[in-house]
Amino acid sequence: MTVDSASFATRAVHAGRGPQHAPSRATPIYLTAGFEFDDFDHAADHFGTGAGFGYTRTGNPTVRAVEQKLAALESGADAVLLASGQAAVVTAFLTVAGAGDHIVSSAHIYEGTRGLLVDNLARLGIQTTFVDDISDPDAWRRAIRPNTRALFAESIANARNDVLDVAAVSAVGDEAALPLIVDNTLATPYLLRPLEHGAAVVVHSASKFLAGHGSVLGGVIVDDGRFDAAAAGHNAPHLVLPGRGGLAGVAARHGGNARIAYAREAVAPRFGASPSPLNAFLIGQGAETLALRVQRQSANALEVARWLAHHDAVECVDYVGLESHPDHRTAVRYLDGGFGSIFTVTLHGGIDAARSFVGNVRVFTHMTHIGDVRSLVLHPATTSHALRTEEERERLGVHPGTLRLSIGIEDPADLIADLSRVLTRVGERVA
Ligand SMILES: Cc1ncc(COP(=O)(O)O)c(C=O)c1O
């Protein structure tokens, strides 16, 4: 019996099925839960080696194409795409650490990552020590313990706009055979590629600049492919010991790619935060224009930051593109093509001034997101950093009058006109 002669219900399910190959120029969207095996042995081989595609949680051609694009942009050996940046960060940590292990992290990180470390991973038995002065290699060195498994920091941190000396912190990691994991969300690989400066792993919230359109969530881990079992195996026994069922160890099977292979085989699919192929496609589409957007956003941000820095209503602007920023020289060393588009501005007049600003913007959008083509504003003290004490907020550069701006690709004259109107009103209220 052919499908054509089958009953209505069977035709509805099976008609039109079959392998179709057309050389699509855009990445095809394989919106499918799984893939048909060629034969009995193909299925066994897929389960045995992980080669090819079987089920979308463990691999999908659309997702794979985007992983390869993002690995290439970060100068990495391989990448794993996940459903969100938060999923990428937790997958990166669980790839290197387990119960009884320890992580050394910058204190200047996204609050969601901090929550993951201090609440969730701590409950799983992974402890974290936070380093406040991230520009001091000795501060990192002192925090390392015998059970430390990784160092973690953001390349450009929010809210103070600190820039990480990636080479210096990687060198501290190398002394103890520890990978440096860098969250490169704010810098993007267009401005900075941490793997070229000695970091071992990069993570991103792809929901931000990589996608750029603010339509989807996603995350990615990119690995340098330089895992050295002889030098670092004692810090990663799960990568060098034989696997279950007599399987050779991950390092024996994947060599320098052991870490990312473990993330792909044993962490990401088991914890299950797999990306939708449709979202992967949209991230890949966005990434194609990353250079143009980040170039424009960085130029806009510099213009807006310079304008704000001279305004009477403004107490200070923490933007690494300004020569007044303590990390400006580090930024000039590491960032190529601009200084990014996210920074904070602190207004005279504290929370009342901030409230008036947020309530009056028209071109800027008031929302909790960054790296979008649209310019965005958020008041961190009452939102992202609301759970911190006032003293902690002050240390992190989050004051009552501080606003976080994420500058988009609009005409900078329109952004400045919006800010000018808003700051005139702020000045009237505060006076
Ligand atoms: C620096 C950084 N890392 C990670 C994340 C988490 O990413 P997502 O929101 O895509 O889960 C964010 C989100 O704002 C972020 O700003």
The 10s digit of each residue's pLDDT in 41-90 is: 999 999 988 899 999 999 999 999 999 999 999 999 999 999 999 999 99
Give distance in angstroms: CA of 182 to centre of ligand 1: 13
Give distance in angstroms: CA of 146 to centre of ligand 1: 30
- CA 121 to chain CA centroid, Å, is 18
Closest residue by Cα to atom 2, ligand 1, is 110
pLDDT above 90 for 191: yes
Burial 63-83 (b: 16+ CB within 10 A, else e): bbbbbebbbebbebbbbbbbb
- Beta-sheet pairing, 314-318 with 342-347: antiparallel
For residue 427, the model assigns a pLDDT of 78
pLDDT above 90 for 2: no
Q: At 431, is the pLDDT very low, low, confident or very high (cuts 50, 70, 90)? A: low
For residue 3, the model assigns a pLDDT of 82
Do residues 348 and 127 touch, judged by C-beta distance below 8 A?
A: no
Do residues 67 and 59 touch, judged by C-beta distance below 8 A?
A: no
Closest residue by Cα to atom 8, ligand 1, is 85
Question: What distance in Å separates the CA atoms of residue 383 and residue 408, rounded to the nearest whole number?
Answer: 21
Give distance in angstroms: CA of 370 to centre of ligand 1: 9
Query: For residue 266, which of 253, 283, 279 has the smallest C-alpha distance?
Result: 253
pLDDT above 90 for 425: no
Question: What distance in Å separates the CA atoms of residue 100 and residue 1, rounded to the nearest whole number?
Answer: 60
CA angle 171, 230, 87 (to 5 degrees): 65
Judged by phi (left if over 0) then psi (alpha if -120 to 50, else beta), residue 9 lies in alpha
pLDDT above 70 for 263: yes
Q: What mean pLDDT comes out for the span 391-408?
A: 97
Encode pLDDT of 145-156 as tens digits: 999 999 999 999
Q: What mean pLDDT comes out for the span 369-380?
A: 98
For residue 430, the model assigns a pLDDT of 65
Q: What is the best residue among 84, 110, 116 to mutate for testing ligand 1's pocket, by most ligand atoms within 8 Å of CB? A: 110
pLDDT above 90 for 429: no
**Sequence-separated (6 or more) residues with CB below 8 Å from residue 246:** none
For residue 4, the model assigns a pLDDT of 80
Question: What distance in Å separates the CA atoms of residue 119 and residue 427, rounded to the nearest whole number?
Answer: 41
Encode pLDDT of 107-136 as tens digits: 999 999 999 999 999 999 999 999 999 999
Share of the chain above pLDDT 70, in %: 99
As a whole number, the mean pLDDT across the chain is 96
Q: What is the best residue among 82, 185, 367 to mutate for testing ligand 1's pocket, by most ligand atoms within 8 Å of CB? A: 185
The structure tokens 């001091």 sit at 136
Q: At 1, is the pLDDT very low, low, confident or very high (cuts 50, 70, 90)? A: low
pTM: 0.97
- Dig out the tokens for 181 from the structure: 């994991």
Query: For residue 401, which of 358, 368, 372, 370 has the smallest C-alpha distance?
Result: 358
Question: What distance in Å separates the CA atoms of residue 66 and residue 72, rounded to the nearest whole number?
Answer: 10
Question: Counting atoms of ligand 1 from 1, which one is nearest the CA of 185?
Answer: 1
Give distance in angstroms: CA of 295 to centre of ligand 1: 21
Question: What distance in Å separates the CA atoms of residue 222 and residue 344, rounded to the nearest whole number?
Answer: 28
- At 105 the three-state DSSP class reads strand
Q: What mean pLDDT comes out for the span 306-312?
A: 97
For residue 310, the model assigns a pLDDT of 97
Element (H, E) at 198: none
Share of the chain above pLDDT 90, in %: 94
Q: Is the peptide bond before 176 cis (omega within 30 degrees of 0)?
A: no
Query: For residue 344, which of 140, 157, 213, 187 has the smallest C-alpha distance?
Result: 157
Residues in contact with ligand 1 by the CB-under-6-Å rule are 84-86, 89, 110, 112-113, 154, 183, 185, 205, 207, 217, 219, 370
Closest residue by Cα to atom 14, ligand 1, is 369
Question: Counting atoms of ligand 1 from 1, which one is nearest the CA of 369?
Answer: 14
Q: Provide the greatest CA pair distance for the chain.
A: 85
Question: What distance in Å separates the CA atoms of residue 107 and residue 120, rounded to the nearest whole number?
Answer: 17
Q: Comparing 94-98, 118-122, 422-426, which segment has the lowest mean pLDDT?
A: 422-426
Give distance in angstroms: CA of 59 to centre of ligand 1: 23
For the chain, the distance separating the N- and C-terminal CA atoms, rounded to the nearest angstrom, is 85
Give distance in angstroms: CA of 155 to centre of ligand 1: 13
Q: What mean pLDDT comes out for the span 371-400?
A: 97
DSSP secondary structure letter of residue 265: I
Question: What distance in Å separates the CA atoms of residue 30 and residue 53, rounded to the nearest whole number?
Answer: 11
Q: What is the best residue among 81, 84, 86, 378 to mutate for testing ligand 1's pocket, by most ligand atoms within 8 Å of CB? A: 86
- Beta-sheet pairing, 342-347 with 402-406: antiparallel
Encode pLDDT of 216-239 as tens digits: 999 999 999 999 999 999 999 999
Is the Cα dihedral 278, 281, 283, 289 positive or negative?
A: negative
